[in-house]
Amino acid sequence: LQRLAEDGFQPQATPYSPSGIRLAGKPAINRHPLFLAGEIEVQDEGSQLLAWLVEPRRGEMVVDFCAGAGGKTLALGMLMRSTGRLYAFDVSARRLENLKPRLARSGLSNVHPQRIEGERDPRVQRLAGKIDRVLVDSPCSGLGTLRRNPDLKWRQTPASVEELRDRQAKVLASAAVLVKPGGRLVYATCSILASENRRIVDAFLQAQPQFVLRPAAEILPRQKIALDCSECLELWPTTHGTDAFFAAALERVA
């Protein structure tokens, strides 16, 4: 904070994420020495909070199941203090290519990006029942990002959301196979629609009785995160100043 303030920025600690900084306006932070040295990254505060909900520990085996360009992967690696093994899975080679320079800047040594063909890829199946923590930042309508992408509301239709729901259910079920007894599976979207959020989770819990919902209100206070939440994490631009996010922590008990 002090270095950024000295360089003319207006930094403030984020109100919820213990690892975040908010800057006024839209400064060219990607040219700052701290960014180039991998000391800071650009990420919405809501995305940061997903990593804290996963709550990875040092030395664990963790999977970011839909890693994309790896922002949440980097947040998880930071919380793991570059120990253990962190797999970044994605079906898109292009998205994983975007992770490489970010990973190089970060200095993390525990991240293993892997392109997979799909949920049934052998590289996924060989990890069945072995993973401590799995994050599923599921493909979704993205309607929680309307403040940054206002044109999204013209690109989504009821039919496209229905297709996404089927995909979300399949991705969540496939990721669940990786979780070992006592492990945690976090399902998240940047959607505001219950059909993509709690209804997906409720259907999953009904079909998978070996998992239970672990309230976010139990997990986040342990990490000194003061958020008014109950069973699930729900963030709103108007209340929290973040993108809209939904996340549920599911623990395997058998």
Which residues are catalytically annotated?
190
Tokens 């970011």 -> residue: 64
Nearest to 134 by CA among 248, 2, 20: 248
The C-alpha atoms of residue 106 and residue 74 are separated, in whole angstroms, by: 8
The C-alpha atoms of residue 4 and residue 15 are separated, in whole angstroms, by: 18
* Residue-wise burial string across 173-186, b where 16 or more C-beta atoms lie within 10 A, e elsewhere: ebbbbbbbeebbbb
